[in-house]
Chain A
Amino acid sequence: MKYEAVIGLEVHAQLKTKTKMFCACPTSSNSPPNTVICPVCTGQPGTLPVVNKAAVEMAIKTGLALNSSIQKKSVFARKNYFYPDLPKGYQISQHELPLCLGGHLDIPSLCKGGSSPPYKGGGSETKRISIIRIHLEEDAGKLVHDYGHEDMSHVDFNRCGVPLIEIVSGPDMRAPQEGGAYLRKLRNILVYLDVCEGNLQEGNFRCDANISIRPEGQSKFGTRTELKNLNSFKAVEKALAYEIERQTKLVSEGKQVVQETLLWNDNTGKTESMRTKEEAHDYRYFPDPDLLPLIVEEAWIQKIKGGLPELADRKATRFVKEYGIPEYDAAILTDEKALANYYEAAIAEGDASPLKKRSVPYFKKISNWIMTELLRELKNDERELKDCPVTPQNLASLIKLIDDGAISSKIAKEVFEEMYKTGKAPADIVAQKGLKQVSDEGAIETAVDKVIADNPKQLEQYKSGKVALFGFFVGQVMKETKGQGNPKIINDLLKKKLV
């Protein structure tokens, strides 16, 4: 019997507003415990919530980018349960009437046998993952263990009240890799919109998974389990894979899958039952009387729509069209908005003439330099693009130097390394180190003559058919010109003189 997996993902994303969802405390993290708090977010008696307009705007942006229908009227509801990190004894969320309904996001179609794409093979084959709803809610505080007395846990409310959006996908994914692709794409969109930092490890982008299996061809859903504690994209895929296998084994042995919440243990590579008592959660949702229904006027939605940034997909398509670079390159360059901006800044800097006069090779050169040299240096250094010492303007100048023949591409690599180390402009480095390419034919000819005269044996061997020695002569001339000889001129002269 063949089984297929049915996977749905729930993402909670912290919004990058300046203040919390229902009070004016700043949302900055990394403050000493219980210092970024006020009477409202600690649930002091007598306090009341007031909605953060910017949070609503970010949620609408997200809904628009995910093709959701923004609801004119949505209602905040109280989700009632007791937990130390929940000061009011209820979380203000949205239940029956969320802000956004429906929507979808397209992921690249699954490549067979590979690990998660994201962009290998590119291609226009995509799979549409539906989105059921997006709603606003507030984050809870943080429980800290392994501090102080070992019989006690500790609570820090700094995070309590930070705005969250919850994005619920449809049960449309069929493989762990699709789950990974969905998450990566969703994260990419949220970062592009500048509504979320998108960092799983830091906890501002969290994912829970719902997964069940059923015999292939059956439409009825099997019993599902909920997976939590998924702290990286890899963990998500590994956990899903493990759980699919676990459930498949159970069912094929004739046993039942128990509906429960499981924690993923990255160390053991297994899902585990939560040790706390599984209590029936009756959240007793009801509309929060302290908050009036949220009315979003069409005019506001249109205004937000008009201000949406160009998202990765559209940008990549545009790069291919405008700059003639391959899809694969465009995908990498647009993965992070900052990188795409860097690329376009370098292009803009490079040539003052209007776009259509600039050439595809030029655009491709810049994209190559970024993809190979720049990204490699940043990776080795574990640095973020925003901390990159090489400005787009300087990169463009470097390429101009090569194009003008002032330096060879080999020397350019050295110059780039120095640019990255010091942040200096390429022209300055070239001048300082005297690396300017020698293109003086006369000077090179002198060097060529000298090398030929100094190496009679190799000359003999070359003339008798060992054509591979051409490279030897090129190398020697390069050495003679301290690496600054213009390779083309060297080549031409040697060809002339070695006959």
Chain B
Amino acid sequence: MARLARLSFPEKELARYTEKVTAVLEYVKQLNDLDTKGIEPTSHAVEVLGKPREDVVCEPALADGIISNAPARDEMFYQVPRVIEES
């Protein structure tokens, strides 16, 4: 799980976290007491229909402000550790 979430845990902390995570997961298992056959899941809190956006351009004006937060950059590029991949 830690790898999937890109988090790391030093040895002594790993046990403590495992305990806490397990406790939470055990606690939430009580939902299995409920019979939910035939119940629709609520994946969205609102019942209304969404409004898709018209295809109208809004000229980008915030690019400088955005890239100014880059922790590592090379001119106008964001810099990251070398990644080997297909071209």
Direct contact of A and B (CB under 8 A): yes
Chain A residues near B (Cβ < 8 Å): 17-19, 23-26, 32-39, 42, 44, 50-56, 75, 82-84, 143-145, 147-157, 228-229, 231, 263, 274-276, 279, 282, 284, 286-287, 289, 291-295
Q: Which residues from chain B contact A82 at a C-beta distance below 8 Å?
A: 6
Q: Which residues from chain A contact B4 at a C-beta distance below 8 Å?
A: 282, 284
Taking a contact as CB atoms under 8 Å apart, the answer to whether A143 and B53 are in contact is: no
Residue B24 CB within 8 A of the other chain: no
Q: How far is the CB of B62 from chain A (nearest CB, A)?
A: 6
Chain B residues near A (Cβ < 8 Å): 3-4, 6, 43-46, 48-50, 52-60, 62-63, 66-67, 72, 74-87
A231 to B86, CA, bound (A): 11
Taking a contact as CB atoms under 8 Å apart, the answer to whether A56 and B52 are in contact is: yes
Taking a contact as CB atoms under 8 Å apart, the answer to whether B54 and A53 are in contact is: yes
Q: Which of A37, A150, A152 has the most CB of B within 10 A?
A: A152
Taking a contact as CB atoms under 8 Å apart, the answer to whether A84 and B53 are in contact is: no
Taking a contact as CB atoms under 8 Å apart, the answer to whether B44 and A292 are in contact is: yes
By beta carbon, the residue of chain B nearest A231 is B87
Taking a contact as CB atoms under 8 Å apart, the answer to whether B74 and A149 are in contact is: yes
Q: How far is the CB of B61 from chain A (nearest CB, A)?
A: 8
Q: Which residues from chain B contact A295 at a C-beta distance below 8 Å?
A: 49
Q: Which residues from chain B contact A275 at a C-beta distance below 8 Å?
A: 84
Taking a contact as CB atoms under 8 Å apart, the answer to whether A24 and B50 are in contact is: no
By beta carbon, the residue of chain A nearest B49 is A295
Q: Which residues from chain A contact B85 at a C-beta distance below 8 Å?
A: 143, 274, 276
Taking a contact as CB atoms under 8 Å apart, the answer to whether A34 and B76 are in contact is: yes
Known A19-B57, A149-B74; judge A52-B87 contact (CB<8 A).
no
Q: How far is the CB of B39 from chain A (nearest CB, A)?
A: 16
A-B CB proximity, top 9 nearest: A54-B55, A24-B58, A292-B50, A154-B77, A53-B52, A229-B86, A287-B43, A155-B78, A51-B52
Known A51-B50, A229-B86, A282-B4; judge A152-B81 contact (CB<8 A).
yes
Of the residues B59, B77, B81, B82, contact of A156 by C-beta under 8 Å: B77
Of the residues A38, A42, A143, A289, contact of B43 by C-beta under 8 Å: A289
Taking a contact as CB atoms under 8 Å apart, the answer to whether A153 and B81 are in contact is: yes
Q: Which residues from chain B contact A154 at a C-beta distance below 8 Å?
A: 74, 77-80
Q: Which residues from chain A contact B55 at a C-beta distance below 8 Å?
A: 17-19, 52-55
Contacts A25-B57, A50-B53, A152-B81 known; list 13 others, CB within 8 Å: A17-B55, A23-B58, A25-B60, A37-B67, A44-B66, A53-B52, A82-B6, A143-B85, A148-B77, A148-B79, A155-B78, A289-B44, A292-B50
Q: How far is the CB of A16 from chain B (nearest CB, A)?
A: 10
A34 to B83, CA, bound (A): 19
Q: Which residues from chain B contact A274 at a C-beta distance below 8 Å?
A: 85-86
Taking a contact as CB atoms under 8 Å apart, the answer to whether A36 and B79 are in contact is: no
Of the residues A37, A147, A157, contact of B74 by C-beta under 8 Å: A147
29 intermolecular pairs with C-beta atoms under 8 Å apart: A17-B55, A18-B56, A19-B53, A24-B57, A25-B58, A26-B57, A26-B59, A33-B76, A34-B63, A34-B78, A36-B63, A37-B62, A37-B67, A38-B63, A38-B66, A39-B66, A52-B53, A53-B54, A83-B83, A148-B74, A149-B79, A152-B82, A156-B77, A228-B86, A229-B87, A274-B86, A276-B83, A289-B44, A293-B44
Of the residues B6, B53, B59, B63, contact of A53 by C-beta under 8 Å: B53
Of the residues A33, A38, A53, A156, contact of B60 by C-beta under 8 Å: A38
Known A152-B80, A291-B50, A292-B50; judge A35-B43 contact (CB<8 A).
no
Taking a contact as CB atoms under 8 Å apart, the answer to whether B77 and A151 are in contact is: no
By beta carbon, the residue of chain B nearest A289 is B44
Of the residues B49, B58, B74, B82, contact of A292 by C-beta under 8 Å: B49
Q: Which of B3, B50, B81 has the most CB of A within 10 A?
A: B50
Taking a contact as CB atoms under 8 Å apart, the answer to whether B82 and A153 are in contact is: yes
Taking a contact as CB atoms under 8 Å apart, the answer to whether B84 and A276 are in contact is: yes
A390 to B12, CA, bound (A): 78
